Chain A
């Protein structure tokens, strides 16, 4: 079969739930290379959505556009009714999108607690003068930010023993935890996880899957994840979007995507 895929019309939520984030024909080119091509896509509020695709499919580039690290060459990204395609990363964070990175990017020489405190930057008010003079308001804010950082670290399951350990000295799993805590600290409505289970064993992956559901229930989060582990993807996602060569080739719930011959072809190659 070589006929063009009939991509279902842009999902504007599954009926009842409005979409929190949507992209409208978004493309990104680097010189002559088209990394993401004409992707229209949306995430219903309080859902868990996955983006999958072979290596080099443009998943991370797409993520980077959503968080403002890249500006789309063409197209529009709308978050909560606002066009964010031209916004800076810090503005987007303030609006309520937080992320983790594929290759963990903690502030290596800051402690776990300090990392999470930076995550709250957008929610703090102390300016330069306030930081110097430290009026009671700033001192109070500093205290509550520290307390909240510790709560967040406990929430993601980090042992209190390593709270004041420099991030670089933490075990790999703990670094992943701190990164999620740091993202949660910015009080997001949408959490983007870029291959969160990379390097984890099956038990750890299962725990993380359960944790994602817990996050949605307890913190009213919407979660978008890039993931290679199909067990995680199929187990947790309500919807799956498949990218290949920068284009969206399929979309649907896990059962539909798994049965889609085009997806199978993209992953395994064409069958003789």
Chain B
């Protein structure tokens, strides 16, 4: 028997053990290795910093992947959920609402230092829960008006929502509910934000050690990976894919379209909110400048680059683009313009570079770097697309 073309296979007992558990084992190995990473670097290393940002982007990209990759609803306003999540931490873990409770503040399981400050201070774990609930509901509300729409039109409506949220964020410092209660701090940013406080873990208190934040975001990534894999192979996930494939057939097989789509919007948004809350706390500031349209595209580019619907692919795409943004463009390729005899900062071209990358991916490998096999088929053989004439949407 020729060895060529034969796939090397594991011995039988190992094969049985790993059968159908490839993702679980892959996840344990990948996260295990990742967990050791910061130990090789200085506690304040910029590498760790870059990895923390990448982790937060992985959470967001996997959230967007549920909406765009699984359910096939193109969402161009994902930044809105990042913003809402960040403002959850801005409102409930800072001195933003200074006058509350006669400037004595409200503290629920807050850290030692935060407990002395005015304003609302919830424990970060509570904030995570609040952001999931609040942003999840917001996601469904934003999804509502798109339910009667298809394809490109959904993209336009979500894009508009992203822009509306950004405008509110920027001008929120002019919106005052009562004296001292402003919606946002606009471009002045709400700052400082409480650091993460988990009773028993003193490490978060130190401003000189990034490792706890790294491990925290790694835990979030693990959580989101589990949720993604569980959802994909479930009643809910099959309904999403069925809707993406053929809405009419899905509805005729008993899949309620409105509910199923809202679930996709809500779940995807909740991840964005969670990551937003984390980033707000990590960067200790919530600045309206971060919530621009370009960010939605940044996250969408991660999903497309990795491969729509492919969980591992999207996670990889997020890490790749994040490092391109935080490391390769400002630190590695930054001398390029100078070498070409030009004088400008390469970072101003970041979005141009991302756009160029997406263009190349679309031409050379439209299914993404690590495509999900379903999507690969769709893009290469033109499967999909339904007809818009049925009245299935009427609630």
Contact = CB atoms under 8 A, between A and B. Distances in A.
Contacts of B231: 128, 131-132
B234 A126 contact: yes
B249 A121 contact: no
B263 A106 contact: no
B15 to A, nearest CB: 17
Main secondary structure of the interface of B (DSSP, over half): helix
Contact of B249 (A107, A117, A122, A133): A107
Contact of B392 (A69, A114, A123): A69
Given A69-B248, A71-B394, A128 B236 contact: yes
B256 interface: yes
Contact of B391 (A69, A91, A118, A138): A69
Interface residues of B, number: 39
For the side of the interface on A, what is the size category?
35 or more
Contacts of B251: 68-69, 88-90
Among B237, B246, B375, B391: residue with most chain A CB under 10 A: B391
Given A108-B384, A128-B236, A131-B230, A121 B245 contact: no
A139 to B, nearest CB: 10
A142 B236 CA distance: 11
Given A69-B392, A105-B248, A110-B242, A121 B383 contact: no
Contacts of B175: none
B383 A168 contact: yes
B235 A121 contact: yes
A107 B374 CA distance: 10
B238 interface: yes
A189 interface: no
Interface string B247-272: 01111111111000001000100000
Given A90-B257, A131-B235, A134-B230, 6 more contacts: A67-B252, A69-B251, A101-B252, A109-B245, A142-B233, A186-B254
14 contacts: A88-B394, A90-B257, A98-B252, A98-B253, A107-B242, A109-B374, A109-B378, A119-B253, A128-B231, A132-B227, A132-B230, A134-B230, A166-B373, A166-B374
Interface of B: 227, 230-231, 233-239, 241-242, 245-246, 248-257, 263, 267, 373-375, 377-378, 381, 383-384, 390-392, 394-395
